[in-house]
Structure 1
Amino acid sequence: MGGTLADLTRETGLSHATVRRLALELVDAGALDRAPDGAFTVGIRLWRLGTLAPLSVPLRTAALPFMDDLHTALRQHVQLAVLEGTEAVLVERLSAGTAVDVVSRLGGRLPLHSSGVGKVLLAHAGPDLRERVIAQGLPAYTERTVTDPARLRTLLAECRESGVAVVREETTPGVGSVATRVLDADGEVVAALSVVVGAGTVDLRGVRPAVLASGLAVSRRLGWQPSAGVH
């Protein structure tokens, strides 16, 4: 549940000035999120400590049936991630016991420039964030990691156009992924959905249509319509 500053002041018994200062500090720390109407809700960082953020519950609820379909078909990893700062945070993952070993885990973080979900989120973030990520440096996790800024910008532009990112062994050797965007009712990209497989075990381009369709289905459950476009 969310609350305004007046609600928080009433509940805590603290002065309005103190509540405002503390609330804004928690927003800066990622422990609270502030909605456009001024209401405060639990942030992703607190979710990682064991509390599900209200805003991420409908997202996970919308995504799980379609993630389960992908998981049943491929018997590999299916992941859902959101953007936090300059990283992607995994808020849901389905895995099979025989799935390829990966470095990611539920609640863990992935780099934006080399992971499938990361590329999708970075592609649809503002240009300021894209340039900040590039300016911070593009570490090479494998010999196939894209570390050239110009090449990365081209790939991100292609992702914005197609809605899909295909990544081959850029974060972990022997691991590939296909990721797509998840949109809200306003056409804003709020998450990325991906399948992660062992390199050579699945035709990644053949998987693209199923992943893209799943992303669109999740988006529709969140209220997105084609007329809203992609922002």
Structure 2
Amino acid sequence: MRIFEAFGPGERALRVGEIAARSGLHRATASRLVAELVEHGLLVRDADRRVRIGVRMWELAMRASPTLSLREAVMPFLEDLHGVVGHHAQLGVLDGVEVLFVERLSAPGSVINYTRIAGRLPLHASSSGLVLLAHAPHDLREAVLAAPLRRYTPETIATPERLRRVLADVRRHGYAYCPGHLHADALGVAVPVTGPDRQVLAALSVIVPNDDGGRAVVPVLRAAARGIARTLGNSPLAE
């Protein structure tokens, strides 16, 4: 696990020495374990001896993914949503004190977006994170409120007082609206995706240009979220 966790979202290939340093393993131990994982296809070596996560690992992870049924239910609506907004449409789930993005659709020339599939962001900084945090257990909300809130731009929520107000607004209005919170040119808007018991399972969001037309996507997001909720009501997730 320490070897696999050495690979960050933006670092798909590492040398054995880098893996050893990041994992805290002795270089000889890391080299031996990497060789065994390569033998089983869970890691692969490039021609320059750098190491990557193998397709076999991806295959096994996809079979076991707890979000697989959710993603299958969401994809038709995500594709329609992406077709309407023409920029980024994505699905995020709560994982610890972060939002984990499990699906994203983009297009050439889209506005800047820091998220990626299997990427993470702090809950306070993104529209998806705010939706998930607003509906998270009380203890988790208090833990985030008590922790340092990293500022990405002047618009990022960086104080507990403002975060409390915004979370209350998200619960009241049913969506999160984040103009310039991660990048001055980008606007994030997100709504909750609920299961048959009305529990929030995920956040459905779009990233569009930060201009005056941003609120026009809210009804489109809500319609997509309602469609997903109906689908999930008839899916194995409802059992």
TM-score range, shorter chain: 0.7 to 0.9
CA contact (8 A) 1:180 1:212 kept: yes
Aligned: 1:223 with 2:233: yes
For residues 150-189 of structure 1, give each alpha carbon's deviation from its aligned partner in whole angstroms, at most 9, with x where no partner exists.
Answer: 1211111111122210111111221111100001111110
1:80 aligns with 2:120: no
Name the counterpart of 1:164. 175
Correspondent of 2:105 among 84, 94, 100: 94
* Cα separation, partners in 2 of 1:165 and 1:191, compared to 1, 3 Å: same
Instruction: Report what 1:182 is aligned to.
Output: 193
Name 1:194's counterpart in structure 2: 205
2:222 is equivalent to residue 212 of structure 1:
yes
1:220 Cα deviation after fit: 1.5
Q: Taking every aligned residue pair, what percent have the same amino acid on both sides?
A: 43
* Residues matched between the structures, number: 178
Contact 1:48 1:107 in 2 (8 A): no
The change in CA–CA distance for 1:47 and 1:125 in structure 2 (over 3 A counts) is: farther
Which 5+ residue runs of structure 2 have no aligned equivalent? 1-56, 235-239
Please name the residue that 2:157 is paired with.
146
Match of 2:74 among 63, 69, 80: 63
Aligned to 1:105: 116
Q: Which 10-residue stretch deviates more, 76-85 or 213-222? A: 213-222
The separation in 2 between residues aligned to 1:194 and 1:47, in whole angstroms, is 25
**Preserved contact between residue 82 and residue 192 of structure 1 (Cα < 8 Å):** yes
Say whether the 8 Å CA contact 2:85–2:217 is kept in structure 1. Answer: no
Cα distance in 1 for partners of 2:156, 2:64 equals: 32
How big is the shift at 1:64?
A: 0.8
Contact 1:77 1:96 in 2 (8 A): yes
Q: Is contact 2:155–2:180 with CA below 8 Å preserved after alignment?
A: yes
Structure 1: gaps of 5 or more residues: 1-45, 225-231
Alpha-carbon distance in 2 for matches of 1:217, 1:177: 21
Aligned partners of 2:62 and 2:68 also within 8 Å = no
> Partner residue of 1:27?
none
Cα distance in 1 for partners of 2:208, 2:122 equals: 18
Aligned Cα root-mean-square deviation (Å): 1.9
Moved over 6 A (4+): 46-49
**What secondary structure, in the 3-state scheme, does the structure 2 residue paired with 1:217 have?**
helix
Say which is worse superposed, 211-220 or 84-93, in terms of deviation: 211-220
Structure whose CA Rg is larger: 2
Query: Cα distance, 1:53 vs. partner?
Result: 3.7
Q: Secondary structure at the residue paired with 2:143?
A: helix
**TM score, norm. by length of structure 1:** 0.72
| Structure 1 CA distance for aligned equivalents of residues 58 and 166 of structure 2 | 31
| 1:215 shift after superposition | 1.1
